[in-house]
Chain A
Amino acid sequence: MKKKPNKRDYSPWMFLAPYIIFFTTFIIIPVAAAILLSFTYFNAIETPTFIGLSNYVGLITQDEVFMQKILPNTLTFALIVGPGGYILSFILAWALAQVPKRMRTVLALIIYSPSMTAGVAMAVVWTIIFSGDETGYLNSLLLTMGVLLEPIQWLQSPEYLMKIMIFVTLWGSMGVGFLAMLSGVLNINTEIYEAGYIDGISNRFQEIIYITIPSMKPQMLFGAVMAVVGTFQAGAIGVALSGANPTPQYAGQLMVNHLEDYGFIRYEMGYAAAISVVLLIVVYLFSKVAWRLFGEKD
């Protein structure tokens, strides 16, 4: 409002107070605590003792599982699911924008629906489909088609677990970001397209690169941030599918699982906190890339 804020005007704070209280308690303090704990040895019983950077040094130099399995797994998973799901969302949104409203609504609903319950709740269905004996749907199908001679233990096999995790996560990744991009494409002023054609754009690919994406940068950025967060959030899927933490031969072990392993199974809280901090930094870096690509300032 135009009214000058005077010293007695506490009204903004009255409206903000509940949000700030919960935001601080359950987001800011845990992040700060993770950073502090990461410099300590803490087994959840004795008081934490300060040990400097030891946790980080240990993580990089001594934790073979982390360097050989967790980090490569996390990066593979994130690089395929993140950009993959994001590009797929954009292509779907773009294609959907070009069919009439009624059809679009139905198709968008179907494509969006996996993301509503994706994740752990759906793991039950996937365990049935990928069940390891010949009664599993996939096994049965492939056996009948003659592709396989004997059933495969899909979810227990180090070879397939990661691929299935990627597939399942991609399947459920057309979420809020997808909806934002869809409405972004729909809200581009048609005159911009006409102007583009006068300026010599001659095919759809150029149209997407020079008109569609630049006109919906804010939604593209929103979608990208949602894709990054969704990707790292989905970490629990491997454990849910294989039913074990650690997953068979660490094949589907991601940073989230590693941190759960150290925090809640081995009670090395300080070490787990160091993993948290590394994870938060990784998420931040991924988002930063998105900001570089689509942000208006920076």
Chain B
Amino acid sequence: MSAFQGTRMNPSKFHRSQLKFLAFLIPLAIFMALPIVYIFFHAFKPIDELFAYPPRFFVDNPTFQNFVDLFTKTNDTGVPMSRFLFNSVVVTLIVVVLTVIISTMAGYALSKKNFRMKKAIFEINTLALMFVPAAVMIPRYLLIDELGLINTFLVHILPLLAMPIGLFLVKQFIDQIPDELLEAARLDGASDFQIFVRIIIPLVKPAIATIAILSFQLVWNSIESSSLYVNDEGLKTFSFYMSTLTSTVEGNNVAGQGLAAAASLIMFVPNLIIFIILQSQVMNTMAHSGIK
């Protein structure tokens, strides 16, 4: 054996030899976190600090004024901000729940059932992992128009329900469940539906958590449906409203910056909290994420 000490993956405790990785990782992590930390500070700055020259990174006298302004603000057509937030929350909840159910059901069928076209369907889905929705926005628009979904609440929801990556991850995860377990349940007289609810769902919780996060990020951040398919201001979502604040920021509208930062924070924090709660489940799922 050579004198060279092999890499120690997943070490259990700290050792001096890890310093070189930390010397690289910590500065980089700090650098990457800067814009996010910046939103935090900016959102709590009172108006005189927003105007301060030279601009300062930290906040001296934090205030909730920006949030108060944001919540009491209405847009040009008189729709209050809370309406956008309400729309976003409702849409997000519905999409996340339905995506999880739809993907898990399909994953169960593709993993544990035998039928013709099973392989073909999974192959098509794997191919669809490369699908870039933005590429087909025009036919999508025409289709949504044809289906009469323009200016409806459903248009925020329906296009996002089929998530190829969700089906892919959950199917890979269900593959790990031994067939014998399902066979035993079947012999005990469990129906398909019971097997799905009592065995599959509890066992694939990590994958479900992962799909939930991914679909949450997709729908919560999405502005496509509001900007393209909805004209009725009262039906638009918070992320869209927030993207319109960008134009307010231009032209040196410094007061607008505080609002924009507060709105960014409202966009960001739910993502962060959900990910922190579910991160260990996500890592567990990712171990099975490989495309073979």
Residues of A at the B interface (CB closer than 8 Å) are 1-5, 9, 11-13, 15-16, 18-20, 22-23, 25-27, 29-31, 33-34, 37, 44, 92, 95-101, 103, 105, 107, 109-114, 116-117, 119-129, 131, 133-137, 140, 144, 171, 174, 176, 179-180, 182-188, 190, 193-194, 196-198, 200, 202-204, 207, 216-219, 221-222, 225-226, 228-229, 232-233, 235-236, 240, 243, 256, 259-260, 263-264, 269, 272-273, 276, 279-280, 283-284, 287, 295-296
Contact = CB atoms under 8 A, between A and B. Distances in A.
A216 B287 CA distance: 10
Residue of B8, B25, B275 with most chain A CB atoms under a 10 A cut-off: B25
A123 B243 contact: yes
Contacts of A13: 109, 115
B139 A1 contact: no
B191 to A, nearest CB: 10
Which size bracket describes the interface of B in this complex? 35 or more
B132 A121 contact: no
Among A37, A121, A204, A225, the most chain B Cβ lie within 10 Å of the Cβ of: A121
Contact of B275 (A3, A109, A119, A127): A109
B277 to A, nearest CB: 12
Counting chain A CB atoms within 10 Å of each CB, the highest count among B113, B164, B284 belongs to B113
B134 A121 contact: no
A113 to B, nearest CB: 6
Interface string B122-157: 000100111111111111111100000000000000
B176 interface: no
Contacts of A9: 115
B35 interface: yes
B55 interface: yes
A124 B36 contact: no
A212 B247 CA distance: 47
Contacts of A197: 1-2, 4, 6
A275 to B, nearest CB: 9
A135 B253 CA distance: 11
- 10 shortest A-B CB distances, which residue pairs? A218-B290, A33-B139, A19-B106, A22-B162, A15-B109, A116-B271, A23-B162, A30-B136, A183-B286, A30-B139
B260 interface: yes
B290 A26 contact: no
A170 to B, nearest CB: 10
Contacts of B128: 23, 27
A137 to B, nearest CB: 6
A169 B139 CA distance: 27
Given A15-B108, A22-B162, A107-B26, 16 more contacts: A1-B179, A16-B109, A30-B139, A30-B143, A31-B139, A34-B138, A92-B25, A92-B28, A133-B252, A183-B286, A197-B4, A229-B129, A232-B132, A236-B134, A264-B228, A269-B142
B105 A121 contact: no
A273 B257 CA distance: 37
B272 to A, nearest CB: 6
B69 interface: no
B25 A187 contact: no
A101 B182 CA distance: 35
B131 A121 contact: no
B175 interface: no
A19 B162 CA distance: 6
B61 interface: no
A128 B139 contact: no
B161 interface: yes
B25 A107 contact: yes
Interface string B256-271: 0100110110011001
The interface residues of chain A, by DSSP majority, are classed as helix
A210 to B, nearest CB: 12
Contact of A100 (B18, B159, B214): B18
A171 B182 CA distance: 44
A145 B134 CA distance: 41
Given A116-B275, A121-B267, A125-B39, A194 B6 contact: yes
Nearest to B112: A1
B22 interface: yes
A42 to B, nearest CB: 9
Contacts of A100: 11-14, 18
B228 A26 contact: no
B165 interface: yes
B41 to A, nearest CB: 11
6 contacts: A15-B113, A34-B136, A113-B275, A116-B217, A131-B252, A269-B142
B25 A95 contact: yes
Given A15-B113, A98-B11, A188-B9, A128 B257 contact: yes
A172 to B, nearest CB: 9
Contact of A171 (B12, B35, B54): B35
Given A110-B33, A119-B221, A283-B132, A128 B10 contact: no
User: Quick one: which of B14, B42, B132, B267 has the most chain A CB within 10 A?
Assistant: B132
